[in-house]
Structure 1
Amino acid sequence: MVKLMMILLGVDYLRNRWRSLTVTGWLLLAVGIGVFIDALDGALGFPVAFVGWLLLIEGALTLSVAWAGVGGQRRLRYAKGIAFVLTAALIFEGDHHGHFILSILIGLAFIFDGLLQATSALVVRYRRYRVALGFAIFEIVLGIFMIQPYPTHYKGTVPYCIGAFFIFAGWNLIMIGMRVRKLTSNPAVWGDASAEAASVADKAPDNEARVLQASEWDGPPADNEPALTVHVWTPVGSSKAETQWHPIVDRYIAAVDRNGVISTGHAALESPEGIYVSLYPAVEIDRSPDDFARLLRATRENDVPGVFQPSYAIESKAWCPSTVRVRIRNYDPARLDSFWRNYRADTTYNLTHRNCSSSVSRALDAALEGAAGRLYGSRAGWGALVRMIVTPELWVAAQIRKRAVTMAWTPGLTLDYARALSMVADPRPYGWLKVARMALTKMRKSRRAWREEGALAQNGGSNADPPARV
């Protein structure tokens, strides 16, 4: 979450507010620790019912306006609303097994996530897998703590979660404030890229000249509208033969056809300025089931020469058109160009560490750096930060990024990541605001129609023949 917020808000925005971010972080951390400790003795002073009402109201409002969303946004709103309402119902159920069910669900979620992260770290063995393994063990321990009844017999589940949320939120803000205090370039984007490339992007004249004409849109860009495009060939869609049905696996990892051939799909990024990021192995990798497990390791012995495809037109003609496209208006051509000049100097390809999907995701991060600042311009105050934090797609993007970094970027994860970031970079109107505007517009039209009907009636009465005398 820290890196994603640094990307979308930009170093300049955060550096100007590092003191406030740090102070707020310490306050949240203190509150979270206090709530967590308060829940340990079983005599709860925290207003759990109040949290239940908040969740119920938020869930009901989300469900009432979820239909106003577009595509994946609508499904996410429905999922969020249902989850909030069910959580509120379990909180109100209280001692009648509500706390127990909630504890089991939350604990199992932590354990499952920790096991998944630990397994992927041990299998992929990327550069910092030991750090991820430590976090995975911590998640598993936290899940076990949620499931076992000691010391509050499940009554402290909700305060535990709220306290943990405040603790993690405060720690994230402290980390952001301390990291951006003296930064001149964004390490969340540039990473091992040269600081010179980052400074060139900051000083590029196009970076200052790009001005957006709106701060929110009702839908994705039109086909004739200039926009950054993420092309994704899904494993199933790019397979040459009919694939076997494996739920989730063939969406996010790979598809296997009837001949046993594995298809992992592909991802590419295209900009209106002519940049095309599409990394592919120079020599086709043998993806038979026997060798595939060995190739999953992100170790240097699996590095092979790669090649960047020249353009989408050439690649799609030689292969097939992309299965899905995600288009984003709010991007920075100068930062993308600086990143691309540095990144394309190395053509190394690694199936899990440096593949087509990881290249596209890194290029997308560079292009969207400082999206909130470009979106609101001089109005990018604390409201920009608050609006971004309460956007569900930001949390979805953060979870996808976490999975991809600890496992591997795949076309399926890149597709979901691009979709989530498109909702943050090109924000849609809030559901309830959109419904309110629609209602006000309808009321104005109705009043206008009534006034016109009244005017016509008055004009008709004055022009009519006078009544005959009897």
Structure 2
Amino acid sequence: MVRLVMILLGVDYLRTRWRSLRLVGCVSLLLGIFVFIDALDSALYFPITPFAFLLLLEGLATLAVAWTGMGGQRTLRYVKGIAFATAAALILIGHEHGNFILSMIFGTLFFADGLLQIVSAKVVRYRTWRLAMIGGAVEIALAIFFYQPYPTHYVGTVPYCLGLGLIFGGWNMILLSTRVRRLASNPAVAANGGLAANASPADAGLAAASELAASRVIAHEWDGPPAADEAALTVHVWTPVGSAKSEARRQPIVDRYIAAVDRNGVISTGHAALESPEGIYISLYPGVEIDRSPDDFARLLRATRENDVPGLFQPDYATESKAWCPSTVQVRIRNYDPVRLRRFWDTYRQDTTYNLTHRNCSSSVSRALEAAIEGASARVWGGLGGWRPFLRVITTPELWVAAQVRKRAATMAWTPGLTLDYARALSMLADPRPSGWVKMARLAVRRMVRSSQQWREEARHAHVAEDTAPRTVRE
């Protein structure tokens, strides 16, 4: 999440606030440690009942406005609302049953995530796979802690989770403040082929030009995705099922995020590409077709040098779609920086190496997307001043979704399915939509205006009908 915040807000915005970030992080870290230690015995100072009511209120409020979202945003709001309301109900039920169920839920989530991280790191073997395995082992240890009743017989489940959340959140804030303190550019983008940390004056001038190019963003919110005739960055995704040569065997989750297998046993992993109105097209493909038979597929998953093959970049979308098929899904983003994208592309295309899990089409698109939207939130909300842009970013649910997708891709591999989810989440952050309450209020006002106009029109027609109706004369 630290890298995403750095990408969305930009180093310039965060560098001037590093002291405040560190102070808030230290306070959150210490408060989390206090809450966690307080939960180790049965005498809780933590106000559990008021917290449950706040959680329930937030869940119900989210469900009340969830219908105003669009696509994945609507689904995310429903999931969040149901999760918060369910957790609050279990807390209010209390006693052994509610606390036990909560502990089992949290334990299972930690266990599943830790086990998946360990297995994927062992299979893929990317550069920091050993550290990822240690992190997965820590998650499994936390799962065991939640599963067993010691020392409070599940009474401290909620304070445990809140304490861990404050601890990890505080640590991330401290880490963020440390990274942005003396940076000249964003390492999250520089590591992907962007501007180096020791930027030259010419690079600094290019960055200034980039800010001017992005100054066309004047809105704080948009009601929906870009129109068909509106200039926007486009992420093309060919899903595994949609790009299979023949009818695919349906395998939920697997054929969405990993690969699809058709009736002939041929594996399709899908594809991803990025296109900009300025003529940039990023679509990396192996120069020689890789044998993706089930026997060799496990070996090819390793992100090691022996699996590197020569690759090639497709010239444009029209050529690629004509030779293959049109993309299955498109995600369009209006708030991007064409100059930063061009700088990334000029550096990235110098290396045409292709690796199925380490440097593939999806990872290329995701890195290019991060370079293109650097500072997007600062451009949108920078005029609000102070800490409001930072608060708007960290309170947007899509930030958590994007962070989880990025973490999963970093510990496994970027796939077209993960890139699609990542692009959708980032589109909500770069082109923010109105909050549910604001949108619901707008819809209510519009309905009131339409109802008022309809009533006036009906009254006018009734009055005209009354004036034109034949009258009988009494004798």
Cα distance change on mapping 1:87 and 1:162 into 2, 3 Å: same
2:99 corresponds to = 99
Deviations 1:349-390 (A, max 9, x none): 000000000000000000111111111233243111112212
2:470 corresponds to = none
Cα distance in 1, alignment partners of residues 219 and 373 from structure 2: 16
1:351 corresponds to = 356
Cα distance in 1, alignment partners of residues 461 and 230 from structure 2: 43
Please tell me whether the aligned partners of residues 235 and 254 of structure 1 are also in contact (alpha carbons under 8 angstroms).
Answer: yes
Amino acid at match of 1:256: V
1:279 corresponds to = 284
Please tell me whether the aligned partners of residues 273 and 362 of structure 2 are also in contact (alpha carbons under 8 angstroms).
Answer: yes
Deviations 1:199-245 (A, max 9, x none): 46413256455321311111111111110000000001001011112
Q: CA shift at 1:49, angstroms?
A: 1.1
- Aligned match for 2:443, one of 438, 446, 455: 438
State whether structure 2 residue 251 is matched by structure 1 residue 222. Answer: no
Structure 2 unaligned residues grouped into runs of 5+: 467-472
Please tell me whether the aligned partners of residues 248 and 260 of structure 2 are also in contact (alpha carbons under 8 angstroms).
Answer: yes
Amino acid at match of 1:387: R
2:418 corresponds to = 413
Deviations 1:246-287 (A, max 9, x none): 111111000111111110000000000110010000011111
RMSD between aligned residues: 2.4
Cα distance change on mapping 1:157 and 1:206 into 2, 3 Å: closer
Please tell me whether the aligned partners of residues 284 and 354 of structure 2 are also in contact (alpha carbons under 8 angstroms).
Answer: yes
Secondary structure of the 2:434 match is coil
Secondary structure of the 2:114 match is helix
Secondary structure of the 1:429 match is coil
Correspondence list, 1:260-299, <5 A: 260-299=265-304
Cα distance change on mapping 1:203 and 1:259 into 2, 3 Å: same
State whether structure 2 residue 407 is matched by structure 1 residue 402. Answer: yes
State whether structure 2 residue 80 is matched by structure 1 residue 119. Answer: no
Please tell me whether the aligned partners of residues 124 and 352 of structure 1 are also in contact (alpha carbons under 8 angstroms).
Answer: yes
Amino acid at match of 2:321: S
Correspondence list, 1:103-252, <5 A: 103-191=103-191, 193=193, 195=196, 196=199, 199=204, 201-204=206-209, 207-208=212-213, 210-252=215-257
Segment drifting more, 452-461 vs 128-137: 452-461
1:333 corresponds to = 338
Please tell me whether the aligned partners of residues 99 and 157 of structure 1 are also in contact (alpha carbons under 8 angstroms).
Answer: yes
- Aligned match for 1:300, one of 305, 314, 332: 305
Cα distance in 1, alignment partners of residues 432 and 214 from structure 2: 21
Cα distance in 1, alignment partners of residues 35 and 398 from structure 2: 27
Please tell me whether the aligned partners of residues 29 and 170 of structure 2 are also in contact (alpha carbons under 8 angstroms).
Answer: yes
Secondary structure of the 1:97 match is helix
Segment drifting more, 230-239 vs 386-395: 386-395
Cα distance change on mapping 1:168 and 1:127 into 2, 3 Å: same
Q: CA shift at 1:441, angstroms?
A: 3.5
Deviations 1:129-174 (A, max 9, x none): 1111111111110111111111111000000000111111111111
Secondary structure of the 1:204 match is helix
Cα distance in 2, alignment partners of residues 259 and 201 from structure 1: 51
Cα distance in 2, alignment partners of residues 328 and 81 from structure 1: 27
Please tell me whether the aligned partners of residues 314 and 320 of structure 2 are also in contact (alpha carbons under 8 angstroms).
Answer: yes
Deviations 1:331-364 (A, max 9, x none): 1111111111111110000000000000000000
Correspondence list, 1:4-23, <5 A: 4-23=4-23
Amino acid at match of 1:418: A
Q: Normalising by structure 1, report the TM-score.
A: 0.94
Please tell me whether the aligned partners of residues 352 and 408 of structure 1 are also in contact (alpha carbons under 8 angstroms).
Answer: yes
Please tell me whether the aligned partners of residues 213 and 339 of structure 2 are also in contact (alpha carbons under 8 angstroms).
Answer: no
Cα distance in 2, alignment partners of residues 85 and 288 from structure 1: 46
Cα distance in 1, alignment partners of residues 345 and 164 from structure 2: 39
Please tell me whether the aligned partners of residues 207 and 335 of structure 1 are also in contact (alpha carbons under 8 angstroms).
Answer: no
2:371 corresponds to = 366
Cα distance in 1, alignment partners of residues 170 and 206 from structure 2: 31
Cα distance change on mapping 1:154 and 1:205 into 2, 3 Å: closer
Cα distance in 2, alignment partners of residues 183 and 453 from structure 1: 65
Secondary structure of the 2:234 match is strand
Deviations 1:52-72 (A, max 9, x none): 111111111111111111111
Please tell me whether the aligned partners of residues 214 and 335 of structure 2 are also in contact (alpha carbons under 8 angstroms).
Answer: no
State whether structure 2 residue 62 is matched by structure 1 residue 62. Answer: yes
Cα distance in 1, alignment partners of residues 396 and 90 from structure 2: 24
Cα distance in 2, alignment partners of residues 56 and 161 from structure 1: 17
Please tell me whether the aligned partners of residues 335 and 373 of structure 2 are also in contact (alpha carbons under 8 angstroms).
Answer: yes
Please tell me whether the aligned partners of residues 214 and 337 of structure 2 are also in contact (alpha carbons under 8 angstroms).
Answer: no
Q: Normalising by structure 2, report the TM-score.
A: 0.93
- Aligned match for 2:390, one of 379, 385, 389: 385
Cα distance in 2, alignment partners of residues 233 and 92 from structure 1: 46
Amino acid at match of 2:383: S
Amino acid at match of 1:312: Y
Q: CA shift at 1:289, angstroms?
A: 0.8
Q: CA shift at 1:450, angstroms?
A: 6.9
Segment drifting more, 52-61 vs 407-416: 52-61
Q: CA shift at 1:455, angstroms?
A: 10
1:84 corresponds to = 84
Cα distance in 1, alignment partners of residues 236 and 205 from structure 2: 27
Please tell me whether the aligned partners of residues 211 and 374 of structure 1 are also in contact (alpha carbons under 8 angstroms).
Answer: no
Cα distance change on mapping 1:31 and 1:236 into 2, 3 Å: same
Cα distance change on mapping 1:347 and 1:149 into 2, 3 Å: same
Cα distance in 2, alignment partners of residues 288 and 457 from structure 1: 75
Q: CA shift at 1:41, angstroms?
A: 1.3
Cα distance change on mapping 1:150 and 1:285 into 2, 3 Å: same
Cα distance in 2, alignment partners of residues 422 and 377 from structure 1: 18
Cα distance in 1, alignment partners of residues 404 and 292 from structure 2: 28
